[in-house]
Amino acid sequence: MKASVYYSKNDIRYEDIAVPEIGDGDMLIKMHSCGLCGTDIHKAQHQTVTGPVILGHEVSGEVVKVGKNVTRYRVGERVVTAIHVPCFNCHYCDRGYFTLCDQFKKTNLEPGGFSEFIRIPQLHVEHLTHRIVEQLDWDRAAMIEPVACCLHGLKSANIHAKDTVLVLGSGTIGLVSAQLAALKGASTVIVSDLSRFKRELALKIGVTHAIDPANEDLETRVAEITDGKGPDVVIIAAGVSSLVSQAVNVVRRGGRVVVFSPFDKKPVVEIDAGRLFRDEISIVGTYSLTPYDMKEAIEIVEKDKINTREMITHTWPLSRLEEAIEFAANPENDVLKIIIKSES
């Protein structure tokens, strides 16, 4: 089979590799669409993984083979899956912190999403894989995984009806989070992003205000929109650590700051720590998704409860993954979500 194999920055090769063998509890799927995640771009551009390795995890595909012990799925069914599975019985799992489970990051798809065929291990078959309806196209189906990630993150936000939510960063995670915030009852949703294209797209899909931080003072503008009270929730969806300081400054008394982004550069920042005690604000991080987020994400995408169509701005063939990553990483390009397509 063909796969796009990452060796190092600017060295991704479209080459032949062996089709994975499946065990009795596994499945083999044919990849139809795989979303290009920000983590894939980061790994490839900053060489945070050692090649050869096959990236990609936002997968939709068709079952082509099942192990003899698999009874829930049949050849020909359309499915989505995700990347990591917890153990369900450790210290963290017992407390609901499934993404902190020691097993979590050790589980994976084989060999990765950017390949023609993918082995779905037994744990993934049992806990992370789900059928999708015929009416849902493969590309939007690949958006289910990032929607599930955002659902997991918004649990920490504890959004109430009529809340104001500020989202710092309008990439895929930012715009999905913004739409989910509105879906969960927020009456005012504000985004901030340097990209004119992303700000305009945010307004098109229903965000109420879009701030250009290069030409507007964020704190002043947010104060104007919220009558000086600040947003109830601030979601950080961009890897700029100084945003944490800004979020603490603008969030309303009793508000929540949710961090949904890694900070590789200058991760140490100064904040007004007095607000934690004085104003009872909270700061919480979020990572990935849990098996319990997938079903809700599927319903949201299948029923068009948020606009994922407009967010998919480009598709690229599997053989041109390196070109797609370079295009997505260039801030001069008008791009949001790229979907990588199988060519067979």
- The secondary element (H helix, E strand) that includes residue 332 is none
Token pair in block for residue 202 = 């945010």
Rounded-to-integer distance, Cα 55 and Cα 192, Å: 29
Q: What is the pTM of this model?
A: 0.96
Cβ atoms within 10 Å of 90's Cβ, excluding its own: 16
Beta-bridge mates of residue 78 = 62
Is the peptide bond preceding residue 291 cis, with omega within 30 degrees of 0? no
- What's the Rg (C-alpha) of the chain? 20
- The secondary element (H helix, E strand) that includes residue 165 is strand 164-168
Structural domains for the chain: 2-143+311-341 (3.90.180.10), 151-285 (3.40.50.720)
Per-residue pLDDT of the chain (344 residues; tens, 9 = 90+): 999 999 999 899 999 999 999 999 999 999 999 999 999 999 999 888 999 999 999 999 999 999 999 999 999 999 999 999 999 999 999 999 999 999 999 999 999 999 999 999 999 999 999 999 999 999 999 999 999 999 999 999 999 999 999 999 999 999 999 999 999 999 999 999 999 999 999 999 999 999 999 999 999 999 999 999 999 999 999 999 999 999 999 999 999 999 999 887 788 999 999 999 999 999 999 999 999 999 999 999 999 999 999 999 999 999 999 999 999 999 999 999 999 999 97
